[in-house]
Amino acid sequence: ATNVNGYTGATNVVNVYTNDTLNGTAVTPSQVTLTTTVSNPNLILNPNGSVDVIPGTPGGTHTLTYQICEIANPTNCDTAVVTVFVMTPQITLTKEALSGTYNAVGNIINYTLTVTNTGNVTITNLLVTDNNADAGSISPATIAILGAGQHTTVSATHTITQADLNNGFVHNLATVTGQDPVGGTVTDESEDPTNPAQPGDNGYDPSCPKCTVTPLTQNPAIALVKTAVFNDTNADTFAQVGETITYTFTVTNTGNVTINGLVINDTQIGLTNAAVTPATLAPGATGTATATYVLTQTDINAGQISNTAIATGTTPQGGTVHDTSGTSTTNDTPTVTPLPQNPAIALVKTAVFNDTNADTFAQVGETITYTFTVTNTGNVTVNGLVINDTQIGLTNAAVTPATLVPGATGTATATYVLTQTDINA
Please tell me the number of Cα atoms within 13 Å of 425 on its side-chain side: 6
> From CA 298, how far away is CA 232, in angstroms rounded?
17
Q: Residue 23's pLDDT is what?
A: 84
Residue ranges per structural domain of the chain: 4-87, 91-215, 222-338, 345-424
CA nearest 58: which of 122, 9, 2? 9
Q: Is 73 exposed, middle or buried (0-12, 13-18, 19+ CB in 10 A)?
A: exposed
The CATH number given to 4-87 is 2.60.40.10
> From CA 109, how far away is CA 172, in angstroms rounded?
11
What share of residues in the chain are helix, strand, coil (percent, to 5)?
5, 50, 45
Please tell me the number of Cα atoms within 13 Å of 4 on its side-chain side: 27
The CB-based long-range contact list for 399-402 (8 Å cut-off, 24+ gap) reads 399/372, 399/374
Please give the CATH topology (third level) of the domain spanning 91-215: Immunoglobulin-like (2.60.40)
Which amino acid does the sequence have at 293?
Y
Same fold flag, 4-87 and 91-215 = yes
**N-to-C CA span, the chain:** 151
Q: Residue 1's pLDDT is what?
A: 60
Vertex 36: Cα angle to 30 and 40 (nearest 5): 135
Phi/psi of residue 310, each to 5°? -130, 130
CB environment 173-205: b (16+ within 10 A), e (fewer): bbebbbbbeeeeebebebbbeeebbeeeeeebe
Q: Does domain 222-338 have CATH number 2.60.40.10?
A: yes
- The DSSP symbol for 382 reads B
What is the greatest pairwise CA distance in the chain?
Answer: 182
> From CA 334, how far away is CA 340, in angstroms rounded?
19
Mark out the alpha helices in 240-285 (DSSP H runs). Answer: none
CB environment 235-272: b (16+ within 10 A), e (fewer): eeebbbeebbbebebbbbbbbbbbbeebbbebeeeebe
Residues recorded for the chain: 425
CA nearest 212: which of 184, 241, 237, 192? 192
Per-residue pLDDT of the chain (425 residues; tens, 9 = 90+): 667 888 889 999 999 998 888 888 888 899 999 999 999 999 999 999 999 999 999 999 999 999 999 999 999 999 999 999 999 999 999 999 999 999 999 999 999 999 999 999 999 999 999 999 999 999 999 999 999 999 999 999 999 999 999 999 999 999 999 999 989 999 999 999 988 889 989 899 999 999 999 999 999 999 999 999 999 999 999 999 999 999 999 999 999 999 999 999 999 999 999 999 999 999 999 999 999 999 999 999 999 999 999 999 999 999 999 999 999 999 999 999 999 999 999 999 999 999 999 999 999 999 999 999 999 999 999 999 999 999 999 999 999 999 999 999 999 999 999 999 999 99
